[in-house]
Amino acid sequence: MRILLDGCVPKHLAKELTEYEVSTVHEMGWSNLDDGPLLDAMDGRFEILVTVDKSIPKQQRIANRSFAVVVLRARTNRLAELIHCVPELRSLLSKLKSGQAQEITC
C-alpha cells in the first residue's frame, strides 16, 4: 500500500509505518501544490493520503478519487501527539476504500 504524508504531517511519522510504502509531499516535490492540484498529482500513484488538514474532505471532492484520505486529529501536529494515532491508523488502512475520508482522533 502506498501512503502519502501531507506537508503538515511530520515526516518521521513514516518510521511508524514501515510495513507500508510511505512518501512525503516534500519527497515528491509537491510541497508547493495547493490541495486540489496535490490530490490530482497523487491520483493513481497512492492509495492513502494522511493529513491533519480537516478541511480537505470538506473542500475537495474525494468520492471520485482513486485513493482515501485519513485526517489525524490531535492537539497539535507534532509527532509526539500524532504518534498516538498510529495504532488506529494501522487498523483503518486495510478497511478504507477509494473515495472515502475518515478522521482519527487521538
Which pLDDT tens digits describe the chain residue by residue (106 residues)? 999 999 999 999 999 999 999 999 999 999 999 999 999 999 999 999 999 999 999 999 999 999 999 999 999 999 999 999 999 999 999 899 999 999 999 9
Distance, in Å, from the CA atom of 67 to the CA atom of 45, rounded to the nearest integer, reads 9
pLDDT at 83: 96
Distance, in Å, from the CA atom of 42 to the CA atom of 22, rounded to the nearest integer, reads 13
Residue 35 burial by Cβ neighbours in a 10 Å radius (0-12, 13-18, 19+): middle
pLDDT at 74: 95
| Cell of residue 23, nine digits | 512518501
pTM of model > 0.75: yes
